[in-house]
Amino acid sequence: MRLEIRNLSLRYGTKKPLFQRVELTVDSGDFVLIHGPSGSGKSSFLRLPNRLQEPSSGNILLDGEPVTRHNVTELRRMVGYVQQTPAMAGGNVRTNLTMSFTFKSGRERPFPDDDRLRVLLNDFLLQDVNLDDDAETLSVGQKQRIALIRTLLSEPRFLLCDEPTSALDPESRSVVEAWLERLALEQNIGIVQVTHLDFTPVRVSARRYRLDGGLQEVSA
């Protein structure tokens, strides 16, 4: 599967474009890291492929088909997005983790039982989090990992991550980074990650880009 960004530009009103003429191709299993100064539009850029935000001009294609022709709910399942400060829905941790299975597009997939959810919580060093805990009471770092697990349960083909480890301690950060590498290697998921951290994947070869008016590939 391939995600293509062609001649993409974004501006707000009559202001100078945040970025313009951006070109990027991400194939299944690719690992892409995006850096750039504050205010360069990295977070906005990451919201465009699954239509959480619309570009000013340009095209985004999923397997050669414009994303505008895809059902939005199904598009967002295939192109998952994890924001830097995740929003939790009202309710407990279990409800938040299984949210996508209540949508029409998710009802055909097996509903994850509590045992599977607890295994995933343990994998992300969230063994102290109970499925019945109020999700709003969690720390930002815990919410980041809950949001990532929630997105993974939707079985995306591409994963857009906006600084997913920004609120984590070094041990938790290493766990999340290892998981992202595993997703690219073992599940062939295309990863696009915005990061300010000096992160270099160990098991996969990452492509690095700098977003600053346009998108330029940089050496590692």
Spans of all domains in the chain: 2-91+155-218
d(CA 113, CA 116): 6
Antiparallel, parallel or unpaired: β 31-35 and 190-194:
parallel
Report the sign of the C-alpha dihedral through residues 28, 29, 34, 39, in that order. positive
d(CA 167, CA 173): 9
Q: Name the strands in the sheet holding 2-10, side by side, starting at the edge strand that comes first in the sequence.
A: 19-27, 2-10, 57-62, 65-66
pLDDT at 32: 98
pLDDT, mean of residues 175-181: 95
> Residue 195 is encoded by which pair of tokens?
């990061």
d(CA 71, CA 89): 22
> Residue 117 is encoded by which pair of tokens?
């959810």
Q: Which CATH number is associated with domain 2-91+155-218?
A: 3.40.50.300
Distance separating the N- and C-terminal Cα atoms of the chain: 25
d(CA 97, CA 100): 8
pLDDT at 46: 97
Global pTM reads: 0.92
pLDDT at 219: 78
pLDDT at 104: 65
71-87 residue pLDDT tens: 999 999 999 999 988 88
Backbone φ/ψ region at 79: left (φ over 0), alpha (ψ -120 to 50), beta: beta
Tell whether the model's pLDDT for residue 45 goes beyond 70.
yes
Helix (H) or strand (E) holding 122: helix 114-123
91-116 residue pLDDT tens: 999 999 999 888 766 567 789 999 99
Helix (H) or strand (E) holding 104: none
SS3 content of the chain, % helix, strand, coil (to 5): 30, 25, 40
Tell whether the model's pLDDT for residue 134 goes beyond 90.
yes
Per DSSP, the three-state class of 92 is: strand
Crossing angle of helices 140-153 and 170-186, rounded to 10°: 10
Q: Is 102 exposed, middle or buried (0-12, 13-18, 19+ CB in 10 A)?
A: exposed
